[in-house]
Amino acid sequence: MAADTNKTRRIGDVEVSAIGLGAMPMSIEGRPDEARSIATIHAALDAGITLIDTADAYHLTATDDGHNETLIAKALASYGGDTSNVLVATKGGHLRPGDGSWTQDGSPKYLAAAAEASLKRLGVEAIGLYQFHRPDPKTPYEDSIGAIRDLLDAGKIRMAGISNANPAQIRQAQEILGGRLVSVQNQFSPAFRSSEPELDLCDSLGIAFLPWSPLGGISRAGDLAALHPAFHTLAAELGVSPQRLTLAWMLAKSPHVIPIPGSSRPETIRDSYAAIDLELTPAQVAALDAA
């Protein structure tokens, strides 16, 4: 029987929940205490989420690198149920020096070391999905992707993805990886739609497209209704939150879209996951596309 694409989707050869959990808010500025973060991850697992997205750069100070990966490993280890079907996707190539800034290092030497460190923090033999976090202007893109290919060939990672990539880079990565590129993670939301070409390309190639900040980002998710009246109006008509409607709209755009809303509270990730049960008509999707 074919999988219900409303509830599950595929990344490479792995079936995952159609909505994932973006774990970044649990480790950067404004992060909650560990107990609430672990409760949020457990709530996501209880709801049925089987994709958790993290990165080694999701931390706050210069001395707590990998905070988010360590947190996820702890939450999975302390969960009472079976987690064997949970895909943890992490990333390398972005750095946080500790002053609030973000920098890049896409050198093969750095990526090899970063992947090893992520392996240890996650406590796995091979990383489920490893994504090159962001192109580094100091390193040729083909060299960075070549390093990801080497990790794949060595069995350090099970699947390879890229993030913050344009269509040319998607095609280049697919070629360098020998057709083994399984995902692209780009910013996409009602306010940020310039990744439509990448979404369309992934749809045509059969590659998963993972929108990051699908609700507009940590600081603006609560303002979604005020900033986007069409989403507010339809959500009110349907009796759901504008955030849930937004995720349902993304799911309706392509069977390859898997949003990864960030969350740091159990109630918000439960509401996000409920988007899988919200079916929109073609007319409703078209109206939101045009909004």
Query: In this predicted model, what pLDDT tens digit does every residue of 144-180 receive, in sequence order?
Result: 999 999 999 999 999 999 999 999 999 999 999 999 9
How high is the pLDDT of residue 79?
98
For residue 261, give the nearest of 225, 208, 212 by alpha carbon.
Answer: 212
How high is the pLDDT of residue 136?
98
Amino acid type, 227: L
Phi, psi of 53 (to 5 degrees): -105, 130
| Residue in this structure with the two tokens 């792995």, named with its chain if needed | 14
How high is the pLDDT of residue 3?
41
Q: CB-hemisphere CA count at 13 Å for 42?
A: 13
Flag residues of the chain having pLDDT under 70: 1-5, 218-221
Q: CB-hemisphere CA count at 13 Å for 195?
A: 26
How high is the pLDDT of residue 71?
97
How high is the pLDDT of residue 5?
55
The answer to whether the beta carbons of residues 75 and 42 sit under 8 Å apart is yes
Output the DSSP codes for 61-127.
STT-TTHHHHHHHHHHHH-SS--TTPEEEEEESEE--SSS--EE---HHHHHHHHHHHHHHHT-SSB
How high is the pLDDT of residue 219?
65
pTM value?
Answer: 0.95
How high is the pLDDT of residue 1?
28
**Count of CB atoms situated within 10 Å of the CB of 32:** 15
Alpha carbon 158 to its chain centroid, in Å, reads 17
How high is the pLDDT of residue 221?
63
Catalytic residue of the set 58, 110, 130, 141: 58
Active site annotation includes 79: no
For residue 40, give the nearest of 64, 23, 55 by alpha carbon.
Answer: 23
